[in-house]
Amino acid sequence: MNEKIAQLLNTQINKELYSAYLYLDMSNFYDEQDLDGYANYYMIQAQEERDHALLFMKYMQNNGLKVTLDAIDKPDKVFENILAPLTAALEHEKYVTSLINNIYHEAHEAKDYRTMKFLDWFVNEQMEEEDNADSMVKKYKLFGQDPKGLYLLDQEYAARVYNAPSLVL
Ligand code: FEO
């Protein structure tokens, strides 16, 4: 495999683990506010991000590539209010989409069809991730300022359950 692509895949493991860290930080923030539903939502989001990291790692292993784990950055965002993590999550997912698109672009340039096929799942996943994050921002803006509305939103997010990824390697 093209060395540049191998490097990008390896870096993506770290990016996904950082995403997990970021969402754990958000989960802690909401836990401190006693918004247990939001805390639950981001706890599960962190689990999904860990799964993404493991999928990249497994793909590298399956292709005989050496995996090098790097230090994970400290999540250092200070959340000023209940909306702040929601908008930060949306921005973060847009950033992750740009990373996936970049690997896809390099794989296309290198005619690495196998990696393109592997990444197809992530391209779709990012659409879902951005859509969910966007919906959380919009719902909060519509209903979240009202205590009853916020309570109902929190109940909605409390119902989220963890599902293993549909991609199996
Ligand atoms: Fe692994 Fe939320 O993207």
Q: What is the pTM of this model?
A: 0.97
pLDDT at 76: 86
Check if 93 has its Cβ closer than 6 Å to any atom of ligand 1: yes
Q: How many CB atoms lie within 10 A of CB 46?
A: 21
Check if 52 has its Cβ closer than 6 Å to any atom of ligand 1: yes
Please state the length of the chain: 169
* Ligand 1 centroid distance, CA of 78 (Å): 21
**Per residue in 2-46, pLDDT tens?**
999 999 999 999 999 999 999 999 999 999 999 999 999 999 999
* Ligand 1 centroid distance, CA of 19 (Å): 7
**Per residue in 74-133, pLDDT tens?**
998 899 999 999 999 999 999 999 999 999 999 999 999 999 999 999 999 999 999 999
Distance CA 11, CA 67 (A): 10
Please enumerate, as own/partner, the contacts of 64-67 that have beta carbons within 8 Å and a separation of 24 or more. 65/1, 65/6, 65/9, 65/10, 67/10, 67/13
Distance CA 37, CA 27 (A): 9
Is residue 76 a contact partner of residue 88, using CB atoms and an 8 Å limit? Answer: no
